[in-house]
Amino acid sequence: MSENLAIVILNWNGKSWLEKFLPGVIHHSQNAEIYVIDNFSDDDSVHFLQSEFPSVHIVLNDKNYGFAGGYNEGLKKIDADYYCLLNSDAEVTENWIEPVLNLFKKDTQIAAIQPKILSYSRKNYFEFAGAGGGLIDNLGYPYCRGRVFDSVEEDKGQYDDETEIFWASGCCFFVRSKNFWEQNGFDARFFAHQEEIDLCWRLKNSGKKIYYTGKSKVYHVGGGTLNKQSPQKTFLNIRNNLSMMLKNLPFPNLIWVLFLRMIFDGAAAFYFAYKNGISHLWAVLRGHLGFYSHISGTLRLRQKNQIRKYYQTEWLIFKHFLGNKKK
């Protein structure tokens, strides 16, 4: 029996994105089933899908569970060997699926894969959310091949390879359904942001691999739900990142990393306030308070084993802000 792929788009009041990008997904995904999980939209997304795209399967959530919980709830109703969790504001390209499935078939230890993610508005540049594959530094700050903090590289073929990475982007996240459910899916408490990094970390702790392929590419608009400058996005990123480390970092690394993060996040709060407004200072504080309120529940979710080594370790915050590292 052949293995099957479900392309799954989570939607919340995103009719305009579906209207713009869903036709391309259908055109370039002939051998996959396409699903839209509607996260209790109050626009006419569902009616639009029913009338304009009858071949697309619709899964209705009974409320807005956020990105993490929304996928968890909707995927329970989708039977497939592989899921592709695709943002509604992503444009796919010809032959974007085959390289990913070929990688899965080459190595059964690969649990998740992301393609090359480029900017929809500047198509020769990488996009913030994923770029050429996700990495993480010694203090738990996520970055990508092709994106260091806010510095994004031009695509000159430097990441056309296929290689192991630390995390795959939720913008276009291919995952074996078996491995997804072995980890109980995303941590629904995250609501949105960094839930895919947490899941990848848990998969790596369980002995699985996360991969990137530059043979497949998508273009991403970004900020379709929460703008990059949103204080709520700052809050979610801070809270979820700290919870992710408490859940996945081995002792004694965990103690000194959390201590240093208190210092650096404090400095970041004032930097964000200067750059984006005082609401971002409050967002960082709320992120820490949210993390502290989750501590007992997060500790219960720690696995028996934590990997002793990151995929790539470096003091990125120093190299970027003091050494001008941008690539």
pLDDT digits (tens, 9 = 90+) for 12-27: 999 999 999 999 999 9
- CA–CA separation, 36 vs 21, rounded Å? 13
Round the CA-based radius of gyration of the chain to a whole number and report it.
19
pLDDT digits (tens, 9 = 90+) for 143-202: 999 999 889 999 999 999 999 999 999 999 999 999 999 999 999 999 999 999 999 999
Q: What percent of the chain has pLDDT over 70?
A: 92
Which residue has tokens 């942001």?
Answer: 193
Contact 112, 237 (CB under 8 A): no
pLDDT at 44 over 50: yes
Considering only residues 13 and 311, tell me which one the structure prediction assigns the higher pLDDT: 13
Which of helix, strand or coil describes residue 192?
coil
pLDDT at 126 over 90: yes
Phi, psi angles (nearest 5°) of residue 163:
-155, 160
What is the pLDDT, as a whole number, of residue 125? Answer: 97
Nearest CA among 93, 128, 103 for reference residue 233: 128
Q: Which two tokens stand for residue 159?
A: 């990441």
What is the pLDDT, as a whole number, of residue 303? Answer: 80
> What is the pLDDT of the chain when averaged over all its residues?
92
Which residue has tokens 């510095």?
Answer: 151
- CA–CA separation, 33 vs 47, rounded Å? 20
pLDDT digits (tens, 9 = 90+) for 61-98: 999 999 999 999 999 999 999 999 999 999 999 999 99
For 250, which DSSP code?
P
Considering only residues 59 and 319, tell me which one the structure prediction assigns the higher pLDDT: 59
Contact 226, 232 (CB under 8 A): yes
Nearest CA among 217, 8, 9 for reference residue 120: 217
Give this prediction's pTM.
0.93
Quick one: CATH architecture of 5-220?
Answer: Alpha-Beta Complex (3.90)
pLDDT at 271 over 90: no
Which residue has tokens 């738990």?
Answer: 140
What is the pLDDT, as a whole number, of residue 1? Answer: 39
Query: What are the extents of the domains in the chain?
Result: 5-220, 231-321
Residue type, 222: G
What is the pLDDT, as a whole number, of residue 320? Answer: 64
Nearest CA among 1, 62, 7 for reference residue 33: 7
Mean pLDDT for 278-282 is 92
What is the pLDDT, as a whole number, of residue 129? Answer: 92
pLDDT at 224 over 70: no
pLDDT class of 112 with cuts at 50, 70, 90: very high
Beta carbons within 8 Å of 79's beta carbon, 6+ residues apart: 6
What is the pLDDT, as a whole number, of residue 83? Answer: 98
Mean pLDDT for 109-117 is 98
Contact 120, 220 (CB under 8 A): yes
- CA–CA separation, 262 vs 268, rounded Å? 10
What is the pLDDT, as a whole number, of residue 163? Answer: 97
Spell out where 133-201 has E strands: 134-136, 142-144, 147-148, 151-152, 162-165, 172-176
Which residue has tokens 């990508």?
Answer: 144
End-to-end Cα separation, the chain, in angstroms: 44
Least confident interval from 52-66, 140-154, 217-231: 217-231
